[in-house]
Chains A and B, each alone.
Chain A
Amino acid sequence: MKYYRSHILVGINEAAKQAGVDVFVNKLQDQISTAGLADEINVLETGPLAFFGRGICLTILPENVNYENVAIEDIVELVEEHLLKGRPVHRLMLDSAAQFKPKFNYDRRIVLKNSGIIDPESIDEYLGAGGYEAWEKALLNMQPADIVNEVKASGLRGRGGAGFPAGLKWSFTAPLNAEQKYVVVNADEGEPGTFKDRLIMEGDPHQLLEGIMICARAIGASMAYIYIRGEYKLCIARLEKAIKQCHAYGILGRNIFDSGFDLDIGIKIGAGAYVCGEETALIESLEGNRGNPRWKPPFPGVKGLWQYPTVVNNVETLANVPFIIKNGAAEYRQFGTDECTGTKVYTILGDVAYPGLCEVDMGATLRTVINEYGGGMKKGFKFKAALVGGAAGVILSDRMLDVKMDFVSLNQYAAVLGSGAILVMNEHQSIVDMLWSILRFFRHESCGKCSPCRIGTQHLYDLISKIRKGEGSMDDVEMLHTIALTMKQTSFCALGQSPIMAIASALDNFRDEFIAITKK
């Protein structure tokens, strides 16, 4: 293997693509060759980097200098100054511009530990980082029941929103006798403000595949499907490539590692419907139907895809599994709190200095996440509220900044961790307006199967529109709450049960704003 004195990691994500990163990398390589450094400097295209800068971002190792918003015009200076003379270009550095040392937290990462470090399109780099060791262990040294028990002992909870214990879910399906079982990966990420799964798949697709494999072995499935949004083109391309590589290496296919176990993974592309995030609706959609949710029970674990036992898990949940199997449940429990173990990947957005994603131990406070990982509020702005958990989430005020971010602690505020989206709003933004946008979203995404949700979401939208225009009364505001509560009690699936969260938290924390606008 060739030895390089320095590595330039180029973060390839949608933002970088928009900034023209493909052309940039070519020009950078040309310039490095021109300077005679082609044998010394390695340019590596990787997934999202540890930090979230603007435009094209680079990390140069081993000195660990981070650049953001680098343009093609900067290449000559960068090569001359940094690579030839060893003097970092301060005006492009992330830290000098932000006056803020971003915390990368690599020593506490599980899901994103390889993201931004290895080339996500190379299986060899994943193997080099210890990849597929857990799969080998699960397949050759562990019985399916051992795997289920290990995941149970780890305390891993589903990261899709509700936080149901993953090991318990598996344990319903594992002992069933069936001629076919399935693993289905929910990658239909559609919660507004959430793109964690996209970055997990863009940054480290093999880790997800490894998690799927271990789950398949645990429950005895020989086929797995990744149900993914059609818009996630880069993810789809990388996953397809990764699956192909696994087949070539004998990691997937027939009689894997001479164990007698067969497994294949297929990709199914969704056609756009928020409700398909609900597991039974997702299964309906996989079967080629309208994505209307099914009655439970029977749960998918017993009768799922084509009526066979099926485990549906979120991308982030499965990405945690290789670590658990490789290092053991006890090691995993070192992360997070007793009741909510492990880490959580957040997307922090809105009026913070550094919007982006981060992975933090469960139980970190909202304040910590915003200040240390999001860089605090954008200069000149004051914190007003944070929408936590996407549209099916809650609006928290500054009084709740010290709430611990885990499934149990958030419960006391009737809040949920949900998808892990944190949308920060400044003092000039209107809560009524935000609620309008959320309720408009629910109206659009209701599938229409059950009346409380189909009719309720329309009424909520009509009411909030009236209030927003200044034509509503406090009676209308109370009616919002009443309708949403009825929907919670009577709707068929989680979609219709969700609007109450945003409404109740908005009314609890920002009632004055509703009083003010209805008096106009």
Chain B
Amino acid sequence: MTTAKAFTNEQYAKLGAVIDQKKDLRNPLIEILRIAQEIFGYLPVEVQEFVASRMNIPVSKVHGVVTFYNFFTMTPKGKHIINVCTGTACYVKGALRVIQMLTEQLNVGMGETTMDGLFTLSAVRCVGACSLAPVIVIGEDTFGRIEKSDQVKEIINRYS
């Protein structure tokens, strides 16, 4: 689902104000991109170009940073991002099974967003909640010891 959304002038104005306020700090690029992603939901090329020209730096530099870090995304994400931990401890405890249950129930693949725009399925590196393995993280909430598909169903329902 990568249909480009039209962004509003307010969104650009908001980001522009943030950049003007921060651009004289030392290398505030990551911080600005963080806020840009909050405002727009993701960082498509047009937003990256806007950031670059407003900060007076090459687009290639912005693009380089966006593609480097897991946190930044160039495709729109669902309302809730389901992060499945695939760190070693979770892997051993069945992270792949958790991913399988989620792909079946949501009918999407890894990195994809559901048709209704509610969920994006994604994998993260170790979230440091290994004693709860296998773990999924949705927003601020952590769910551990995911073993049965009923559990998965129950968690998804909470956010639907």
Question: What residues make up the interface of A, taking CB atoms closer than 8 Å to B?
Answer: 14-15, 17-18, 52, 189-195, 198, 229-233, 269-274, 285, 287-291, 306, 347, 349-350, 355-356, 387, 390-391, 423, 425, 429, 434, 437-438, 441, 444-445, 447
In the complex, the answer to whether B92 meets A423 with C-beta atoms within 8 Å is yes
0/1 interface trace, chain B 55-77, chain A, CB 8 Å (1 if under): 00000010011001111100000
Given A18, A190, A233, A356, which contacts B125 in the complex, CB threshold below 8 Å?
A190
Instruction: Tell me whether A271 and B89 are in contact in the complex, defined as CB-CB below 8 angstroms, given that A195-B130, A231-B127, A231-B128 are known contacts.
Output: no
Q: Which of the 9-residue segments B1-9, B112-120, B140-148 touches chain A?
A: B140-148
Instruction: Tell me whether A289 and B130 are in contact in the complex, defined as CB-CB below 8 angstroms, given that A192-B125, A423-B89 are known contacts.
Output: no
Contact residues in A for B144 (Cβ distance below 8 Å): 15, 18
In the complex, the answer to whether A15 meets B92 with C-beta atoms within 8 Å is no
Given A52, A231, A269, A273, which contacts B131 in the complex, CB threshold below 8 Å?
A52
In the complex, the answer to whether B92 meets A434 with C-beta atoms within 8 Å is yes
In the complex, the answer to whether B92 meets A429 with C-beta atoms within 8 Å is yes
Whether B29 is near chain A, meaning CB under 8 Å from some CB there, is yes
Chain A: minimal CB distance from B38 (Å): 12
10 contacts between A and B (CB under 8 A): A14-B132, A232-B128, A271-B69, A272-B69, A285-B30, A290-B68, A291-B68, A350-B93, A437-B86, A441-B86
Closest to B27 in A: A288
With A and B bound together, what is the CA distance between A246 and B23 in angstroms?
A: 29
Given A306, A441, A444, which contacts B26 in the complex, CB threshold below 8 Å?
A306
In the complex, the answer to whether A387 meets B127 with C-beta atoms within 8 Å is no
With A and B bound together, what is the CA distance between A52 and B130 in angstroms?
A: 12
Contact residues in A for B86 (Cβ distance below 8 Å): 437, 441
With A and B bound together, what is the CA distance between A423 and B91 in angstroms?
A: 11
With A and B bound together, what is the CA distance between A148 and B50 in angstroms?
A: 48
Q: Which of B26-49 contact A (CB under 8 A)?
A: 26-31, 34
In the complex, the answer to whether A441 meets B125 with C-beta atoms within 8 Å is yes
Given B34, B65, B129, B141, which contacts A289 in the complex, CB threshold below 8 Å?
B65
Contact residues in A for B103 (Cβ distance below 8 Å): none
With A and B bound together, what is the CA distance between A49 and B70 in angstroms?
A: 32
Closest to A15 in B: B132
Contact residues in A for B71 (Cβ distance below 8 Å): 230, 271-272
In the complex, the answer to whether A194 meets B92 with C-beta atoms within 8 Å is no
In the complex, the answer to whether A273 meets B70 with C-beta atoms within 8 Å is yes
Given A189-B128, A269-B34, A287-B27; 11 other pairs, CB 8 A cutoff: A192-B88, A192-B125, A194-B126, A195-B130, A271-B70, A272-B69, A288-B65, A349-B133, A387-B88, A434-B92, A437-B86
For the side of the interface on B, what is the size category?
35 or more
Given A192, A198, A233, A272, which contacts B87 in the complex, CB threshold below 8 Å?
A192
Chain B: minimal CB distance from A389 (Å): 11
Contact residues in B for A272 (Cβ distance below 8 Å): 69-71, 124-125
Closest to B65 in A: A290
Contact residues in A for B129 (Cβ distance below 8 Å): 14-15, 195
Closest to B34 in A: A271
Contact residues in B for A269 (Cβ distance below 8 Å): 34
In the complex, the answer to whether A350 meets B89 with C-beta atoms within 8 Å is yes
Closest to B71 in A: A271
Given B29, B69, B137, which contacts A273 in the complex, CB threshold below 8 Å?
B69
Chain B: minimal CB distance from A313 (Å): 19
Chain B: minimal CB distance from A240 (Å): 16
Closest to B130 in A: A349
In the complex, the answer to whether A287 meets B26 with C-beta atoms within 8 Å is yes
In the complex, the answer to whether B126 meets A289 with C-beta atoms within 8 Å is no
Instruction: Tell me whether A445 and B30 are in contact in the complex, defined as CB-CB below 8 angstroms, given that A18-B144, A271-B71, A423-B88 are known contacts.
Output: no
Contact residues in A for B68 (Cβ distance below 8 Å): 273, 290-291, 447
With A and B bound together, what is the CA distance between A76 and B125 in angstroms?
A: 40
In the complex, the answer to whether A390 meets B65 with C-beta atoms within 8 Å is no
Chain B: minimal CB distance from A98 (Å): 15
Contact residues in A for B131 (Cβ distance below 8 Å): 15, 52, 349, 355-356
Closest to A434 in B: B92
Contact residues in A for B133 (Cβ distance below 8 Å): 349
Given A18, A270, A274, which contacts B143 in the complex, CB threshold below 8 Å?
A18
Contact residues in A for B125 (Cβ distance below 8 Å): 190, 192, 272, 274, 441, 444-445
With A and B bound together, what is the CA distance between A447 and B135 in angstroms?
A: 26
In the complex, the answer to whether B30 meets A193 with C-beta atoms within 8 Å is no
Contact residues in B for A447 (Cβ distance below 8 Å): 68
With A and B bound together, what is the CA distance between A195 and B89 in angstroms?
A: 11
With A and B bound together, what is the CA distance between A287 and B25 in angstroms?
A: 11
In the complex, the answer to whether B142 meets A290 with C-beta atoms within 8 Å is no
Instruction: Tell me whether A290 and B29 are in contact in the complex, defined as CB-CB below 8 angstroms, given that A18-B143, A231-B128, A391-B88 are known contacts.
Output: no
